[in-house]
Amino acid sequence: MDFDLSEDALAVKKLARDFAAKEIAPYAAGWSELEEFPAPVFQKLGSLGLMGMLVEEEYGGIDVGLVAYVAAMEEIGRADQSVASSWNAHSTIATLPLAKFGTHEQKERWLRPLAEGTHIGAFGLTEPGAGSDAASIRTRAERRDGGWVLNGNKIFITNAGTEISLGVSVLAVTGENADGSKRYGVIFVPKGTEGFEVGQPMRKIGWHAMDTRELIFDDCWVSDEHLIGDEGAGLRQFLSVLDPGRISVAALSLSLAAASLDLALEYVVEREQFGRRIADFQATHHRLAEMATQVETARLLVYRAAWLADRGRDFSMAAAMAKLHASEVANKVASASLQLHGGYGFMRETPISRFYSDAKILEIGEGTNEIQKNVIARKLLRGTTER
C-alpha cells in the first residue's frame, strides 16, 4: 500500500496552500464578521484552474480526480470553511450534473464558465418540506410552449444569489408514471430569468461568508434546451453525484479538524497557567493525542474513498463512512480545541470560535449522518444476501 500523494496531487496541494495563505486566511475573520461573500476569491481560484478540478479539460476544467481535490480541500478548508464550503457546493453538486449528463451545447454554455471560474454554480434540491427525503420535493416543472414552467420553493441553497452566480440546476417533479410514482427532471435556470426570485441571505450559526438563500419559482419558463439529462431520470442522476459530494464534505470536515488541532497546538505552547505552559500538563498531552489520532483516522477514510473513486471502483459505502466519521471528528476536535483555549476560545475574535461554529453543519449537510448510517447499513445487509 502506498500512502504518498502523486506528483500532480502534491502540486495541486501546494498551489491551494499558497493561495489560501495569501488570499484567504488573512481576510477570513473579516468576511465572517461582515457576512460578506468574497466573490473575487473564487474568480482567482478559477484563474488557477481550481474551480473545475473535476471537469474535463475540453470544457475548461483540469480533471485531476478526487484525491487531488481532497488534498486541495484540506488546504482551503484550513484557511476558511465558508470559502471551502461554497467551493465544495460549486465543484460537486453544481457542476457534476452538467459534466455527467449535459449535452455538448449545455456544457459549452454553462459548464465552461463554471469550470473556468468566471461564475459560481448552485444546485436546488432542499425545500421547506423536503431535505433528506429528496423524493418528497414539490417544486414542479410542467411542459408548456416548447419548454418548462417551474413553480415552487427551494431553501438553504448555496451560491445562488451572489454577484457571480450563473444560475441554479433545479430538481423538480416533471410528471407521474403509470403507477402514480413521480417523475423528476433537472432543469437549469439562469440568474435573472423572469419568474425566478432569489431571497435575502439567510443568517446562520456558522459559514457566515457563504451565500445561502431561499429560491422562489413563480411561473418561471425556460426552453427545452434547459433540461439536463433525461426527463424522468432527474432524481437518479442527482443521487449519482451525491457520493463525490459526500467525499467533498468529508474532506471539508477533515480540514476543519486539522485546523482545530493546529490552533490548539499553537495555543497550549504559548499560554501559561500555574507557572507552567498548558502544553506541559499530562492532561493536555492526552487530549492532544486523542485529537491527533481522530484526525488521522478521518484522513485515512477520506483519502481511501477518494482513491476508490479515482480507480472507478464502488465507493458509495466508503464515501458515506468518510462523511459520517470525518464530520463527527470535526465536531469533537473543534470542541476539544476550544476547551483547551478556555475563555479565549469563546470570544469571536479567536479563530477557533469560527471553526467551532462552522462544525455542526458538517453532520447535517450533504445528507445527515443518520442518512449516512442508513446507506452504510443497506450496503452491509445487501452484502450478506449476496454471499
What pLDDT does residue 383 have? Answer: 77
What pLDDT does residue 372 have? Answer: 96
For residue 288, how many other CB atoms are within 10 A of its CB? Answer: 18
- 115 shares its domain with 179: no
Name the pLDDT band for 108 (thresholds 50, 70, 90).
very high
In a domain, 70, yes or no: yes
The number of domains in the chain is 3
What is the bridge-based pairing of β-strands 147-158 and 212-223? antiparallel
Q: Which cell is 99 given?
A: 459534466
CATH number at residue 13: 1.10.540.10
- 307 shares its domain with 379: yes
pTM value is 0.95
In a domain, 309, yes or no: yes
What pLDDT does residue 135 have? Answer: 85
| Nearest-5° Cα angle at 15, 333 to 330 | 10
In a domain, 2, yes or no: no
Q: Which cell is 277 given?
A: 505552559
The per-residue pLDDT of the chain, averaged, comes to 96
* Catalytic residue (choose from 127, 214, 328, 366): 366
Q: Is the pLDDT of residue 132 over 90?
A: no
Alpha helices in 177-315, H assignment, sequence order = 234-240, 242-270, 282-310
- 267 shares its domain with 381: yes
pLDDT tens digits for range 363-385 = 999 899 999 999 999 999 987 76
**Matching residue, cell 416533471:** 174
What pLDDT does residue 2 have? Answer: 83
pLDDT tens digits for range 275-300 = 899 999 999 999 999 999 999 999 99
Q: How far apart are the C-alpha atoms of 192 and 387, rounded to whole Å?
A: 54
What pLDDT does residue 385 have? Answer: 60
- 139 shares its domain with 199: yes
CATH number at residue 286: 1.20.140.10
Check if the beta carbon of residue 186 is closer than 8 Å to that of residue 229: yes
- 330 shares its domain with 380: yes
What pLDDT does residue 66 have? Answer: 98
Name the pLDDT band for 319 (thresholds 50, 70, 90).
very high
In SS3 terms, 195-208 reads as CEEECCCCCCCCCC
- 202 shares its domain with 251: no
Told to judge if 214 belongs to the known catalytic residues of this protein, a careful annotator would answer no
User: What is the Cβ-side half-sphere exposure of residue 235, based on CA atoms within 13 angstroms?
Assistant: 18
- 247 shares its domain with 133: no
- 246 shares its domain with 376: yes
Residues 6+ apart with CB under 8 A from 238: 93, 97, 123, 125, 134, 171, 184, 186
Q: How far apart are the C-alpha atoms of 42 and 57, rounded to whole Å?
A: 19
- Amino acid at residue number 318: A
Which CA distances in Å does 52 have to 24, 165, 196? 19, 15, 26
- 74 shares its domain with 178: no
In a domain, 250, yes or no: yes
Check if the beta carbon of residue 223 is closer than 8 Å to that of residue 193: no
Q: Which of 120, 146, 169 is the last residue of a domain?
A: 120
CATH number at residue 188: 2.40.110.10
Span 185-194, average pLDDT: 98
- 109 shares its domain with 132: no
Q: Which of 232, 262, 280 is the last residue of a domain?
A: 232
pLDDT tens digits for range 241-263 = 989 999 999 999 999 999 999 99
Check if the beta carbon of residue 91 is closer than 8 Å to that of residue 51: yes
Domain carrying residue 276: 241-385
